[in-house]
Amino acid sequence: MPKSARPAEAAAARAQPGILAACRLIESAATPPALQVLADLAALSPHHFHRQFKAVLGITPREYGEAIRSLRVRQLLPASASVTEALFAAGFNSSSAFYDKVRELLGMRPERFRQGGDGETIRFALGQCTLGAILVAATAQGICSIALGDDAQALLDDLQARFARAQLIGGDAAFDAWVAQIVGWVEQPTQALDLPLDIRGTAFQQRVWQALRAIPPGSTLSYSELAAQLGMPQGARAVAAACAANAIALAIPCHRVVRNDGALAGYRWGLERKRALLDREQAS
């Protein structure tokens, strides 16, 4: 490790308790607290607080607040009397602030999300590959799910739970071509999967997932290395959590992230599949 990096990491470590306290305040506040309030809580100047917050988490306090509001609005919409009620309860100070980010937050119109994806059409296919059962699903925007497992029905049940009132239909010719490309890639993973994706997640999750897509087949990074690439040397746990939240296997290759000692950990679709994918990539 370069000597110049050590003071920065030490400073981030010292600031971490105050940063975590600020995170708890952001999470509990009805509206995003002012930067000065957060900095005072962490016993730092606003400038140093902002810098250390990003060093620890990889995103700014504003982006963290947006992620919290995104989570809140997704939780509140189904049970709220109206979209307006949900967005203000989630901490948005105006409807325009919400609608400016609605595609990033929800992936669909809020009225449709509130109704469990009612009216959204999702094409899907179930099949078998050498890693077991595989499910591929896509909205009009692109692939929204690639899942692997032992039981095809369990994969379908999970998709139906995520999109409770969407219309699930069989694929057309273009969708079937995507499925064939994905299944073929499982057997011979020689290059990145180039597919249109409908990626739904917080700003931080999307940063991590974009970084994952830049890891070439046959290569791996540790959670710490990936966190460092994202400018957050203390953020390995946050990176691991974002990897675990990924719903699009293979195309967002979270299997290429390993522990610092090279051991495998934390694969949503099973460590045996993670090992098989890495072995195939490294042999290609």
Q: Catalogue the active-site residues.
A: 254
By the 8 A CB rule, do 195 and 142 touch?
yes
